[in-house]
Structure 1
Amino acid sequence: MTNPVISKCPSHPVTIHIAGDYHAARGICRKFCDDVGLCVTVTPTVYIYTGGQEEGIRVGLINYPRFPKMPTAIEAYALELAYRLRDGLHQESFSIEAPDHTTWYSWREGDLQESTQKLDVDQFGT
């Protein structure tokens, strides 16, 4: 038995959160990965929120040690894929979660006003 090749790189997991059909999302992700040379995970999930719930997916990207990338490149791939998912799944919003921040994108009417209101952090006890 030979010794394995072992490689490390800095971790930088990024997750896309979006509602929509799991099977359609898999196809969109497969095409994107074939187009740009990437590997992602696609996991079905349920988003539960005040007054309802919605089926969706989580798409994971990591800094893969075999083909390491800068954090900005991983986030750029995530954003490009999220736009493709948004179009292909006919969604009006998505979020991208990085290790140190989460960014929400929305094209829904009314969200512009809501997003400009200040968050009262005291409501969360922080």
Structure 2
Amino acid sequence: MTRVKVPTYQVTVFIAGDLALAKAACQKFCDERGECVTVEPTDYIYTRGREAGVRIGFINYGRFPRRRKVIFAQAEMLARWLLLALDQQSVSIVATYRTVWLSLRDQEPTT
């Protein structure tokens, strides 16, 4: 048995959209880039609304360890891909120490 210890790092992409379309888009992305992700259904509940979506997970996998910035870059690339594939307006990429929100909307977010 082989035991490999790597630094823990997780990135999750949050986006609304159809689960089947998300899985198909993730499969194509992974096939083309030699990537591996998890895909989980989720529901977004917000003021006066709700919609279905997905959570896409990346980890620092012990068999193929990578640096944090490489994992985050792959997650952001997939997030941009999913914006188009799922016909959405925004996506969040959440890691341990930072979150990036990408939006195709014209207005800026309020803080």
Report TM bin, short chain. Answer: over 0.9
Moved over 3 A (4+): none
Deviation track 1:32-67 (CA, whole Å, cap 9, x = no partner) reads 111111110000000111111110000000000100
More helix by share: 1
1:73 CA displacement: 0.3
CA RMSD of the aligned region, Å? Answer: 0.9
Cα deviation for residue 102 of structure 1 reads: 1.2
Give 1:40's aligned residue.
37
Instruction: Specify which of 16, 20, 24 is matched with residue 17 of structure 2.
Output: 20
In structure 2, runs of 5+ residues without a counterpart are none
State the Cα deviation string for residues 68-89 of structure 1 (Å, max 9, x = none). 0000000000011011111000
Question: 5+ unaligned residues in a row in structure 1: which ranges?
Answer: 120-126
Q: Which has the larger radius of gyration?
A: 1
Structure with bigger RCO (C-alpha 8 Å, 6+ apart): 2
Aligned length: 111
Q: SS at 2:30's partner residue?
A: helix
Normalised TM-score (structure 1): 0.85
